[in-house]
Amino acid sequence: MSSNKISDWFFQYNKDIYHFLLYYVGSGDIEDLVQEVFIRAIKGFDDYQWESSPKTWLFSIARNVGRDEIRKRARKRFRMNKDNFLSYHESTSEMTPEKVLQLNEKNKQLYKAIRSLKSNYRDVIILRAIKEQSVSETAAILNWNENKVRITYHRALKTLERKKEEIDFERE
């Protein structure tokens, strides 16, 4: 039963999860991360409470997978720099060449600005503005109350606007 339901959800939500993770972690093998989300969903299906929508639950899992990936990359950078084997400075905001070609210049600047936000701001911007989640869905995914979502989203938008202006200024 659980694998059939998860399979249905995969076909329904895999593209949304993919785009969320692409914005969340930047470059890398996003397909593997999407797969990890659904593997964790299968393992946790019996604990799923059905209090939120399946999509909200899957986004919560995706957020945790994204955080794990960012931590893993940070440990890898630290370990490599510490051992003086390589000067490894992979930026999580770098994308594969094919993705860069697909984005127009304006979207690349927006992507760069979003990636430069602190994690709470980035989370709420991706969920509310890009993935168009409701305030209540976003609150459930982030485990916040709705008022915190509204306030953080407002502050994140202001900060994002300043970052975009800084990026535009640097280009001139």
Q: What is the CATH code of the structural domain delimited by 1-95? A: 1.10.1740.10
Does 1-95 match 103-172 in CATH topology? no
From the list 84, 99, 79, 83, the residue with the least C-alpha distance to 29 is 99
Q: Residue 5: what residue type?
A: K
Structure-token match 């202001």, residue found: 158
Encode pLDDT of 100-151 as tens digits.
Answer: 555 566 666 777 788 888 989 999 988 888 888 899 999 998 999 999 999 9
Q: What tokens appear for 52 in the block?
A: 């939120």
**Protein fold of 103-172:** Arc Repressor Mutant, subunit A (1.10.10)
From the list 113, 111, 104, the residue with the least C-alpha distance to 161 is 113
DSSP per-residue codes, 15-76? HHHHHHHHHHH-SS-HHHHHHHHHHHHHHHGGG--SSS-HHHHHHHHHHHHHHHHHHHHHHH
The three-point CA angle 59-65-138 to 5° equals 25
List the chain domain ranges: 1-95, 103-172
Encode pLDDT of 61-88 as tens digits.
Answer: 999 998 888 878 776 654 444 333 333 3
Model pTM greater than 0.75? no
